[in-house]
Chains A and B, each alone.
Chain A
Amino acid sequence: MRARFRASFARHPLLSSGFLLALGLVMFFAARSVAALVYWSDPAHRDQPIEGWMTPRYVIQSWQLPPEVMTEILNAGPMPGRRLTLAQIADDQGITLNDLAARITAATDAHRAASK
């Protein structure tokens, strides 16, 4: 096997280097796939923290909130019609994204406690 590879390497140095590189990549991605599966199988890692790119509707969907809860948090009347991100909403209200996220988390906890 080794002799055969050496012979082919002499014949096709470029292709053979590519082959070894591809084998290296196979091992790299195999290891990362296993690591990803192990990491995400822990439910604690699955709750997606609030980030600036999310829209209110996205948070409602992924945290399974009733829309009224979100309207209350945003205290801005009906849901914004435009696709505003949380970062833009925080900006408009003159607060930081962290404050807004804290408000959402608190209201979510209160809602979940109440509906238990």
Chain B
Amino acid sequence: MAMIPDYGLWLMGLVTFLSCLALPVPASLLMIGGGAFAAAGDFALTSISGVAYLGAVAGDQTGFAIGQRGSRLFALIHATPGKRADLLARAEHFFDKWGGPGVFLSRWLVSPLGPYINFIGGAAQLNWLKFTAWGIAGEAIWVGLYTGLGYTFSGQIAMVADIAANISGLLAALAGAGALGWLIFRPHGPART
């Protein structure tokens, strides 16, 4: 926290950038703190959230590009028929159908999953335009949500950060359990409807 007054904007952008690459940096806490400092008048809210937003969008693009490098691995799995290839096909189908909204929601509602969606989206060759359009919309909500929370509850950021961290962890775990459960338990072959 003491680093915000010292390094301010640079730090904010760097941290949101790194958080989109699955690096363990406290991006939400810093955005809440940044919003609180903005409420106190030490920073302008627009510059704090603008820099956080640019960092996040750049981080998403980097993660996607890294994933694209890994798409060879996916091709390799496809080339060897078996249950792993089946599973991958099913995951890709899921991604094709729900990729856009998935990218959107993984920016803010289940943000701990975001970085992995970047890598997988790149590796599964999700349409770049689709990824970017849903991604920049989702990041706007993510940044707005956290800096807004800090701005509104500037006197109680310890409380807001604690509650937000736990609820976001809960939502991410629920989404992860749901997605894995769907992959494992869904009846094979055509749906029985």
Complex CA gap A39/B160 in Å reads 12
Residues of B152-189 at the interface with A, using a CB-CB cut-off of 8 Å, are: 154-159, 162-163, 166-167, 169-170, 173-174, 176-177, 180-181, 183-185
Q: State which residues 1-54 of A face B: CB under 8 Å.
A: 4, 8, 11-12, 15-16, 18-19, 22-23, 25-26, 28-30, 32-33, 36-37, 39-40, 45-46, 48, 51-53
Number of B residues, CB within 8 Å of A: 37
- Of B39-47, B67-75, B120-128, the one contacting chain A is B39-47
B87 at the interface (CB under 8 A from A): yes
- The answer to whether A55 and B155 touch (CB under 8 A), given A25-B173, A36-B163, is no
Which residues of chain A are within 8 angstroms of B87 by Cβ–Cβ distance?
A: 12, 15
- Of chain A, the residue at the smallest CB distance from B8 is A83
Within 8 A of A (CB), among B1-31: 1-6, 8
Is A85 touching B5 in the complex (CB atoms < 8 A)? yes
Closest chain B residue, CB of each to CB of A67: B41
Interface contact A37-B163, CB-CB below 8 Å: yes
Q: Is the Cβ of B2 less than 8 Å from the Cβ of A23?
A: no
**0/1 interface trace, chain B 67-102, chain A, CB 8 Å (1 if under):** 000000000000000010001000000000000000
Nearest 4 pairs between A and B by C-beta? A62-B155, A53-B2, A29-B170, A25-B173
17 new A-B contacts, CB < 8 A, other than A53-B5, A85-B6, are A18-B180, A19-B177, A19-B184, A22-B176, A23-B173, A25-B173, A33-B163, A33-B167, A48-B156, A53-B2, A53-B3, A55-B40, A57-B40, A58-B36, A62-B156, A83-B6, A83-B42
| A residues apposed to B, CB below 8 Å | 4, 8, 11-12, 15-16, 18-19, 22-23, 25-26, 28-30, 32-33, 36-37, 39-40, 45-46, 48, 51-53, 55, 57-58, 60-64, 83-85, 87
Residue ranges of B at the interface with A (Cβ–Cβ < 8 Å): 1-6, 8, 36-37, 39-43, 83, 87, 154-159, 162-163, 166-167, 169-170, 173-174, 176-177, 180-181, 183-185
